[in-house]
Amino acid sequence: MKVMKFGGTSVGTPDRMKEVTNLVTKSGEPVFVVLSAMSGTTNSLVEIADYLYKKNPEGANEVINQLERKYMKHVEELYTTDATKEQTREFLVSEMNYLRSFTKELFTSFEEKSIVAQGEMMSTNMVVNYMQEKGIKAVLLNALDFMRTDKNSEPDPVYIKEKLAAIMEKNEGNQVYITQGFICRNAYGEIDNLQRGGSDYTASLIGAALNADEIQIWTDIDGMHNNDPRVVDKTEPVHQLHFEEAAELAYFGAKILHPTCVQPAKYAGIPVRLLNTMDPEAEGTTISNATEYGKIKAVAAKDNIIAIKIKSSRMLLATGFLRKVFEIFESYQTPIDMVCTSEVGVSMSIDNSAHLGEIVDELKKYGTVTVDTGMCVVCVVGDLDWSNIGFETQVLEAMKNIPVRMISYGGSNYNISFLIKEEDKKRALQSLSDTLFKH
């Protein structure tokens, strides 16, 4: 069985929902479908929650009314039979009344999560009703019945696998199984969400639980590109990536995928394909545990980076210095991207400035601190094992006219990274494309 995940733009209009139905039923084989909320809906739900936090029920009700009008219009466009229209209208009215019920009560983050979850509830109901109207054997499985996180807010794969297996057995014989992405229950049974990676994470967890043949992530672009198409001319989709390569690209700026969301698929050895709903015939990108040896695959960049350098003669031949430095970042829950060390100094990059002042104050106890803002990490990804002679030279050749603040190489077999000024990003990315991906 394949797992197919469709994002908000893929189910953003009645016409898109019809196209998704065609894609899902094309093979005639049983499929498991994960859907996001219709594009724009989650923003509206967050706005409703914001009004309720501010104790403005009138503002919340106005947004609910706008949302109701929008969805009722979709009902007219999506369905042909009066029975299905009436069934869907009744469901949507109950959803809107549920949202209105929050305007009368004390409002906390628990209620907010319940409100935000309704976007996926509405999109999945609308699509399953459309499929059933078309005579397709489709069943809606509530993600809140099997998707759960543990006390550390991490997915609970044993629970998910057991619950989902029982639900699938009970609903055997259907062609399409549909569920909501992103939403789940936490360890205490409250409505929550998966946060990182959202619906992609749901698809990956379900794929691992079902031991699926393949997990397909359908978006509005044709896979991961070999450079940022918003900045660089003539980028192309990368047809094959190792899970580690995909994670590096996702972490360093390839927005199509969250770096953690494919981990369940990686550990289960299930390939993930990134495909385009606007161009279903495009090959897209396949991510698996296979490595294409001797090949540089892609370049990505991450903005808003801060470089911090601490210099201290006390570091020379001293033990425990780096531990003290890293503990400061840990105490402020600020992850470090890149690290470079010398005999008397260490440079680090971070992408979260929330506690920058406190971190710098603490670091000054151990040495002289300098901070550079407005920086950017450029990451080159591929088979960059140190035994592949000449690859580093090619990359450095492309960067020869760009001032480089830091270089990180050797921490991974798949990545070499450069810290540069944001103003040099476009030149750097274009030069890397011209040098590494010549045709």
Q: What's the start-to-end Cα distance of the chain, in Å? A: 38
Whether 383 contacts 293, CB under 8 Å:
yes
Q: Which two tokens stand for residue 19?
A: 């196209």
The rounded distance, in Å, linking the Cα atoms of 17 and 8 is 10
Query: Looking at this protein, which amino acid is placed at residue 164?
Result: L
The rounded distance, in Å, linking the Cα atoms of 4 and 20 is 10
Whether 176 contacts 136, CB under 8 Å:
yes
Tell me what pLDDT residue 104 has: 80
Q: Which two tokens stand for residue 378?
A: 């450029």
Alpha carbon separation from 223 to 56, 231, 267 (Å, rounded)? 42, 17, 21
Alpha carbon separation from 8 to 5, 64, 274 (Å, rounded)? 10, 19, 15
Question: Strand ranges (DSSP E) for 223-295?
Answer: 240-242, 272-276, 285-288
Alpha carbon separation from 342 to 84, 189, 253, 313 (Å, rounded)? 69, 50, 28, 11
Q: Which two tokens stand for residue 77?
A: 């466009």
The rounded distance, in Å, linking the Cα atoms of 379 and 206 is 31
User: What length does the chain have?
Assistant: 439
Tell me what pLDDT residue 256 has: 76
Which residues pair with residue 140 across a beta bridge? 178
Question: How many angstroms from the chain centroid is the CA of residue 257?
Answer: 4
Query: In what helix (H) or strand (E) does residue 31 lie, and over which residues does it extend?
Result: strand 31-35
The rounded distance, in Å, linking the Cα atoms of 26 and 34 is 17
Alpha carbon separation from 78 to 74, 87, 123, 132, 236 (Å, rounded)? 6, 13, 12, 12, 35
Smallest CA-to-CA distance from 117 within 184, 210, 199, 56 is with 184
| φ/ψ of residue 3, rounded to 5 | -105, 130
Q: Which two tokens stand for residue 39?
A: 């594009």
Mean pLDDT by 10 residues, the chain (439 residues): 94 95 94 96 95 93 96 96 97 96 85 94 97 97 96 94 97 97 94 84 96 94 88 91 89 75 91 92 93 89 94 71 90 92 87 94 92 94 78 86 90 88 95 85
The vertex-383 CA angle with 377 and 385, nearest 5°, equals 95
Whether 277 contacts 20, CB under 8 Å:
yes
- The pTM (predicted TM-score) of the whole model is 0.88
Question: How many angstroms from the chain centroid is the CA of residue 107?
Answer: 28
The rounded distance, in Å, linking the Cα atoms of 210 and 1 is 8
